[in-house]
Copies of this chain bind each other. A is one copy, B any other.
Amino acid sequence: MKLATLKLDKKEHGRDGELLVVSRDLSQAVSAADIAQTLQQAIENWDAVSPKLEARYAELNDGSAAGAFALDQSRLHSPLPRSYHWADGSAYLNHVKLVRQARNAEMPETFWTDPLMYQGGGDKFLAPTEDIEAVSEEHGIDFEGEIAVITDDVPMAVTPEQAAGHIKLIMLVNDVSLRGLIPGELAKGFGFFQAKPASAFSPICVTPDELGDAWQEGKVHLPLTVHLNGEKFGEPEAGPDMIFSFPQLVAHAARTRYLGAGAIVGSGTVSNPDPDGGPGKPIADGGVGYSCLAEVRMVEQILHGAAKTPFMRFGDRVRIEMFDRQGNSIFGAIDQQVVPYQPK
Contacts and interface: CB of A to CB of B under 8 A. Distances in A.
B119 A118 contact: yes
A216 interface: no
A37 to B, nearest CB: 11
Could you tell me the dominant secondary structure of chain A's interface residues? Answer: loop
A327 interface: no
A313 to B, nearest CB: 17
A193 interface: yes
A282 interface: no
A116 B256 contact: no
A305 interface: no
Interface stretch (A27-35, A78-86, A269-277, A290-298): A78-86
Interface in A252-276: 252-253, 255-260, 262-263
Contact of A256 (B41, B139, B186): B139
A224 to B, nearest CB: 22
Given A123-B85, A256-B139, A256-B181, A117 B157 contact: no
Contact of A117 (B120, B134, B190): B190
Contacts of A343: 155-157
A116 B189 CA distance: 9
A214 to B, nearest CB: 29
A15 interface: yes
This chain: copies in complex: 2
Interface in A28-69: 41, 44
Interface in A270-313: none
Contacts of A13: 41, 44
Interface residues on A, range: 35 or more
Contacts of A210: none
A268 to B, nearest CB: 10
Interface of A: 13, 15, 41, 44, 82-85, 87, 90, 108, 110-111, 114, 116-124, 133-135, 139, 155-157, 178, 181, 184, 186-195, 197-198, 252-253, 255-260, 262-263, 341, 343-344
Give me the 5 closest cross-chain CB pairs, A-B, nearest first.
A191-B191, A123-B260, A84-B123, A85-B123, A197-B257
Given A108-B188, A123-B260, A181-B256, 6 more contacts: A83-B84, A85-B121, A90-B190, A124-B259, A178-B256, A197-B257
18 contacts: A84-B84, A84-B123, A84-B124, A85-B122, A85-B123, A116-B188, A116-B190, A118-B119, A118-B190, A119-B120, A119-B191, A119-B192, A124-B257, A124-B259, A189-B191, A190-B191, A191-B192, A195-B256
